[in-house]
Structure 1
């Protein structure tokens, strides 16, 4: 068995353990659990090397939405927030190449934004502007919904 397949198996096992601890023992934050469930690299949870690494850090390549993509979108949103020029979701989608672009398509942007929302990033006015009525697809409304561990975490 190749090293890649072994690492994938270890990632799958770690993913199940994180989700189980979150659902059954109330471990980890909602944002961290959501990231593992949806395959969004949990960028905000990276350590700086001065403490033991978090479980996700050695599995960077196995997340569907890669670290560099999460970082690029979050840095863009932070810059726009600081400039008081928050985009609507559709403007965000246009900025990153449209809804079908693999790395930054609609589902990836929704996943990254939901992770940021669940982490408590930005403020209410930011999220209100991003989700301006008639300026986002209906599925983006999910970004600012409360997280329900019992019903949003699946063991598959």
Structure 2
């Protein structure tokens, strides 16, 4: 990413998060969209918003990663099957002999899945199976945690 694009991305990120946290503004930015910007995960499902589109390559978790993960999770959900977080890690080669996988890490998978959860994608049965106690690391439990303006810190 060149310096100008990096500066523009940072400025856009600040503006969106400042709007999200503003008590004077009517809530115009969704929790999921603000979360995606806060964690630098491409907000794939927010097609009607255009602010992120010029910065597709600037997000730490790219549009291509989000598209592929969304396709994988959607296929599981549509087949009426379930997948656990650990099974997803195996799929992406996060642990075991394939570690580290070529694209994903455990933290980036958690961030991306939290975006889908906050967007309210998939149903509660899907997320319950995905985050079942012994089938996910404790860090993954943050996926189902509430996100609001108090989670944004400008430090």
TM-score (norm 1): 0.89
Task: Specify the alignment match of 2:34 in structure 1.
Answer: 33
Query: In the TM superposition, what is the alpha-carbon distance from 1:28 to its structure 2 partner?
Result: 0.6
| 1:70–1:112 Cα contact (<8 Å) kept | yes
Within a 5 Å distance, the mapping from 1:78-117 to structure 2 comes to: 78-98=74-94, 100-101=100-101, 103-117=103-117
SS in 1 for 2:135: coil
Query: In the TM superposition, what is the alpha-carbon distance from 1:102 to its structure 2 partner?
Result: 5.7
Query: In the TM superposition, what is the alpha-carbon distance from 1:97 to its structure 2 partner?
Result: 1.3
Report the Cα distance in structure 1 between the residues aligned to 2:117 and 2:102, rounded to whole angstroms. 22
Task: Specify the alignment match of 1:153 in structure 2.
Answer: 152
Moved more, 99-108 or 87-96: 99-108
TM-score (norm 2): 0.90
Query: In the TM superposition, what is the alpha-carbon distance from 1:101 to its structure 2 partner?
Result: 3.1
Task: Specify the alignment match of 1:50 in structure 2.
Answer: none
Post-superposition, which runs of at least 4 consecutive aligned residues in structure 1 deviate over 2 A?
99-103
SS in 1 for 2:52: helix
Task: Specify the alignment match of 1:127 in structure 2.
Answer: 127
Report the Cα distance in structure 2 between the residues aligned to 1:12 and 1:87, rounded to whole angstroms. 35
Task: Specify the alignment match of 1:7 in structure 2.
Answer: 5
Q: Deviations over 1:76-127 (max 9, x none)?
A: 0010011122210000011011154362111111111100010010000000
CA, structure 1 residues 102+37, in 2 after alignment: closer, same or farther (shift >3 Å)? farther
Residue segments in structure 1 that go unaligned for 5+ positions in a row: 48-52
Q: Deviations over 1:38-87 (max 9, x none)?
A: 0100000124xxxxx61100001110000010110111001001112221
How many residue pairs get aligned? The number is: 148
Residue segments in structure 2 that go unaligned for 5+ positions in a row: none
Give the alignment's Cα RMSD to 1 decimal. Answer: 1.5
| 1:87–1:129 Cα contact (<8 Å) kept | yes
